[in-house]
C-alpha cells in the first residue's frame, strides 16, 4: 500500500477524541488521588470507565493504523528527529495500551471489585497479591507521570511543526484540512 498523504479521517477523529480523553484521564487521576471530597467517587468511576473505553479504542486505532498506515515525515527532517518521532509515537501507543491494563490489574491484585458506570462488572483475571499490587500500582503512578511528560513533549513537537517549521506534519493529523500547510510535506 502506498503511503497516504494524510491520516484517514477516522484516524484523525480517533486521535483527537482519544487525546482529549487521555488528557482528562491524567488530570482526573492525579486529582482524585489527592482528595477526600465526595467528588472522589464520581471521579474514580469516570476514571475506570473511561480508562477501559480507551483500551478498546486504542485496539481499534492500532487496527486502523495497520490498515491505513501513516503519512511519511518530511524528507528534510534529520534522521535523529525522525527516530525520536517514531520512538515517541511508539511510547505513546505503549502507554495507551499499558495504562488501562495496569489500572485493572492493580485493582484485581487488591481483590477490589471493578465495577464500571452502569454497573458493568469486570471479572478479576489476577488473584490478590501484595507484591503484584504494589508493582502495578507503582507502574501506574510513575508511567502515568511519564505519559503526561511525553504528551507535553508531543504537543510541543506538534506545535513546532505547525508554527515554526510549517512543514505540513500538523496537517496530516488535523481534523479539518489546513489549506496551505497540508501540501507542504510532499
Under the binding rule (CB under 8 A), the answer on residue 150 touching another protein is: no
Q: Which residue has the cell 527516530?
A: 83
Under the binding rule (CB under 8 A), the answer on residue 123 touching another protein is: yes
Q: Round to whole Å and give the CA distance between 106 and 133.
A: 5
Nearest residue (CB) to another protein, 8 versus 49: 49
Q: Round to whole Å and give the CA distance between 88 and 10.
A: 22
Which residues in the 97-116 window bind another protein by CB under 8 A?
A: 110-113
Under the binding rule (CB under 6 A), the answer on residue 57 touching ligand HEM is: no
Under the binding rule (CB under 8 A), the answer on residue 26 touching another protein is: yes
Q: How far is the CB of 15 from ligand HEM (least distance, A)?
A: 6
- Which of ligand HEM, another protein, none sits in contact with 134, Cβ below 5 to 8 A by type? another protein
Nearest residue (CB) to another protein, 5 versus 166: 166
Under the binding rule (CB under 6 A), the answer on residue 45 touching ligand HEM is: no
Which residues in the 99-158 window bind ligand HEM by CB under 6 A?
A: 99-100, 103-104, 107, 114, 137, 140-141, 144, 147, 151, 154-155, 158
- Would you tell me which residues interact with another protein (CB under 8 A)? 26-27, 30-41, 44, 74, 76-77, 110-113, 119, 121, 123, 128, 130-131, 133-134, 137, 148, 152, 155-156, 159-160, 163-167, 180, 183-184
Amino acid at each position: 500500500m502506498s503511503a497516504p498523504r494524510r491520516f484517514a479521517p477516522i484516524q484523525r477523529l480517533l486521535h483527537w477524541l482519544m487525546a482529549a480523553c487521555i488528557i482528562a484521564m491524567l488530570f482526573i487521576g492525579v486529582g482524585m488521588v489527592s482528595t477526600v471530597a465526595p467528588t472522589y467517587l464520581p471521579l474514580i468511576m469516570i476514571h475506570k470507565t473511561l480508562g477501559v473505553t480507551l483500551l478498546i479504542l486504542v485496539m481499534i486505532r492500532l487496527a486502523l493504523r495497520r490498515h491505513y498506515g501513516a503519512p511519511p515525515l518530511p524528507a528534510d527532517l534529520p534522521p535523529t528527529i525522525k527516530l525520536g518521532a517514531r520512538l515517541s509515537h511508539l511510547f505513546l501507543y505503549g502507554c495507551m495500551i499499558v495504562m488501562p491494563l495496569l489500572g485493572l490489574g492493580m485493582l484485581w491484585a487488591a481483590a477490589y471489585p471493578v465495577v464500571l458506570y452502569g454497573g458493568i462488572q469486570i471479572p478479576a483475571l489476577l488473584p490478590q497479591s501484595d507484591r503484584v499490587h504494589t508493582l502495578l500500582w507503582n507502574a501506574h503512578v510513575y508511567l502515568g507521570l511519564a505519559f503526561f511528560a511525553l504528551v507535553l513533549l508531543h504537543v510541543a513537537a506538534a506545535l513546532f511543526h505547525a508554527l515554526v517549521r510549517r512543514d505540513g506534519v500538523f496537517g496530516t493529523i488535523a481534523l479539518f484540512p489546513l489549506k496551505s500547510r497540508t501540501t507542504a510535506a510532499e
